[in-house]
Amino acid sequence: MSLPPEKTSELKQIIQSHLKKINIHGKIQEVLAETARVDPGSGRLSEEDFRRALQRRGIIDDVMKDLRFSQEKATKTASGFPSKPFSHYGDKEMTELRQNPSRQYLHLQVLGGKAFLEHLQEPEPLPGQVSSTFTLYLHFRDQRFGSKPVPCTCEPDMRENFLLELCRDNADGGKVMDAASMLSICDPIHFVLIKTDISGETTLVSSYFLDWRTVLSSTNSKTCFAVELMGVGSECKVPAGVLTVNLELYPPPAVNLSADVISTQQSLERTRTAEKDRLFLVYAKQWWREFLEIRASHQSKLVKIFAQDENGVNRPVCSYVRVLRAGRLLESSRHAARFVSLLAHERAPMLGGGTGKQEQWCTLMAFLCRGKGDCEDHATLLCSLLLGFGLDAYVCMGTKAKGVPHTWVMTRGTDGTITFWESLTAHRYLHRPVDPDAPPLSPQPKPSSPYRTVGCVFNHQTFMANCQPSDSVELCVFDFQNPSRWKAMSEEALRSVCGPGSCTSLPPLPPLCAPSLDPSAASNQLEMEMRYLVYEHRKDLDLGTVWDDHLCYLLSSALSAYEMERCTGVSCGNEEFQDAVRRAVPDGQTFKGFPIHFLHRNARRAFATCLRSPFCEEIICCRGDSVRLAVRVWVFVYPENACAVWLMFACKYRSVL
């Protein structure tokens, strides 16, 4: 790969500056003087002998180790703390931490994987060959990290360093914690392993919670062990593979704890959690019996108190909702709804045939890392974000047309206004209930939403079941203070298993990560790929291709207006766009345009989809006099690198009859 002259000059300056910084000339003179003293009669020192002498002293290794070029920019989480998606730390940084520890860290090393038997028959990828990859994501105490992708093999070469800060809020005034204080930190390290195939589709391989506190009893506060990753969903009891992990504390505590103390603490936490879960289960069963005694028809209502996560663990549905603040990553509740809708919708995979639906809700970390999930995952995330924006938000469980189970979000205004939010599309619907006691000829509001029935609503503090005579949405009155309409669970009982710090078994809440994708570069790259595909397609039809760059630029305002309308529901800028197009298209010529929206950046997939539309195909294959084509791509990037891709094809030509 060749570099332009200015880049070559810049690279030389960086290397020279680095060599001067580490005093490489002084070190070379020391090696020359030492070699002359040890072997004064050897005569002239050859270049190979001198290189060996530098290598023996470790000077070459030091230079190459310290000279690193990072292409990844540190991203920011919603809390404002830096979170590097690809974090690597060399020996120099570790040495500095040992000598001058300003904070306390947990150094986690992944030393490789093995026994990923699903990939046993796959050959080793050749250099440059595109293959499926594994990516490991970590979450610990408001910090998120990700590894570099490695090829999927039976023994993936996953070797990474992650530096996890034990205390980020300086609650202890900057004092160094002792081992007993660290033992009280029960937050686990959440491992999420994602497989990405050659088409860019992601699959959740494993979700594992690691209790790191065993390092507190290890010699020199350092331990190495194997982590067996289990599968997810219906394969949650089947091992997916093994990772070798090394843990080390910086600085090490003055006194280590015994293994018995740590196991006793862990046993106490498990016992406390199990007792809370048992008491809540007893209460939930009693509550359910009381609910069924109200009406016999309640047996068929969609009321769900517990849901299984990706590891097959039953948890109260309220525990899937938290108050999530996005910092400066999302501007408003409308932008939050738009962001959630950009995460792809995919039902949990089901092994075998049948029309049934696989029951699997996902932890927030697994959902964000995978970038797609079912309607329950979208609804709980949107509800969490709306709560963060100060709205009175609830997740609704019910059905759509033809009795299909569905989950969506509802907000209540201070004036009693009820608004439904569809988390898969970001559409909003104002709910106006029908009055069944009104006179027959009195006007009634027409249903505006696609929802048919509602069985229960919940958020992080509340769970209520619909006990009205009919569970029809159009007849439903969302008066939660009326016990004859809604039967509520005890908030104290819910708080005991879903409140902050109530259970060590609850997955910690990860922050959102700022996008690392450059929207301008992504837009330009995809636009150039689309131009090439249009050129090749017209070439196969024996048609020439002439681009109108000015017309391409004018399409930008339309794409921007489309995305703004999706976010805010307000349409603007259409008059200016139409006026600009009229000025750019001469009299006697015809203008045609076709906008389309995607959630991915795969040019060939997008182009194939466009050709399936007869309107778009007519533009791409346009024939006439003075045909000029235009294409514009605009990639709008949201947190977690979720993308709204707007694409518009256009042409202007003089029709020849």
pLDDT in tens, 21-45: 666 777 777 777 776 666 665 556 6
Name the residue among 457, 335, 449, 438 with its Cα closest to residue 392.
457
Residues 424 and 374 sit within 8 Å (Cβ to Cβ): no
> pLDDT at position 655, please?
77
> pLDDT at position 236, please?
87
* Distance from C-alpha of 347 to C-alpha of 372, rounded to nearest angstrom: 9
Helix (H), strand (E) counts: the chain: 16, 25
* Distance from C-alpha of 619 to C-alpha of 650, rounded to nearest angstrom: 6
35, 37, 41, 43 alpha-carbon torsion, rounded to 10°: 40
95 or 57: whose pLDDT is higher?
A: 57
Neighbours of 430 (CB within 10 A): 11
> pLDDT at position 68, please?
47
Q: Identify the helix (H) or strand (E) that includes residue 195.
A: strand 189-196
Q: Identify the helix (H) or strand (E) that includes residue 618.
A: helix 614-620
pLDDT band at 88 (very low <50, low <70, confident <90, very high): very low
Residue 15's φ and ψ, nearest 5 degrees, are: -65, -45
Stated length of the chain = 657
pLDDT tens readout for residues 292-319? 999 888 888 999 999 999 999 999 999 9
* Distance from C-alpha of 349 to C-alpha of 553, rounded to nearest angstrom: 42
Average pLDDT of the chain, as a whole number:
86
Name the residue among 370, 315, 358 with its Cα closest to residue 192.
370
* Distance from C-alpha of 176 to C-alpha of 466, rounded to nearest angstrom: 52
Q: Phi-psi category of 23—alpha, beta or left, where left has phi over 0 and alpha has psi -120 to 50? A: left
Neighbours of 208 (CB within 10 A): 18
* Distance from C-alpha of 422 to C-alpha of 408, rounded to nearest angstrom: 5
307 or 439: whose pLDDT is higher?
A: 307
State which amino acid sits at residue 451.
Answer: Y
* Distance from C-alpha of 574 to C-alpha of 584, rounded to nearest angstrom: 15
Residue 85 has pLDDT above 70, yes or no: no
| 433 Cβ contact partners less than 8 Å away, ≥ 6 residues apart | 445, 474, 475, 476, 477
- Of 49-58, 128-137, 228-237, 598-607, the poorest mean pLDDT is in 49-58
Q: What six digits make up the tokens of 372?
A: 């797609």
- In angstroms and rounded to an integer, the radius of gyration of the C-alpha atoms of the chain is 30
Q: In angstroms, how far apart are the furthest CA atoms of the chain?
A: 117
Rounded percentage of the chain residues whose pLDDT exceeds 70: 83
Q: Identify the helix (H) or strand (E) that includes residue 247.
A: strand 239-250
pLDDT tens readout for residues 272-298? 999 999 999 999 999 999 999 998 888
Q: What six digits make up the tokens of 645?
A: 């891709």
The alpha-helical segments, DSSP class H, found in 112-258 are 179-183
Q: What six digits make up the tokens of 457?
A: 């609503």
Residue 552 has pLDDT above 90, yes or no: yes
> pLDDT at position 300, please?
87
Neighbours of 497 (CB within 10 A): 22
What letter would DSSP give residue 324?
A: -
Residue 356 has pLDDT above 80, yes or no: no
Residue 12 has pLDDT above 70, yes or no: no
Cis peptide before 251 (omega within 30 of 0): yes
- Of 200-214, 426-440, 549-563, the poorest mean pLDDT is in 426-440
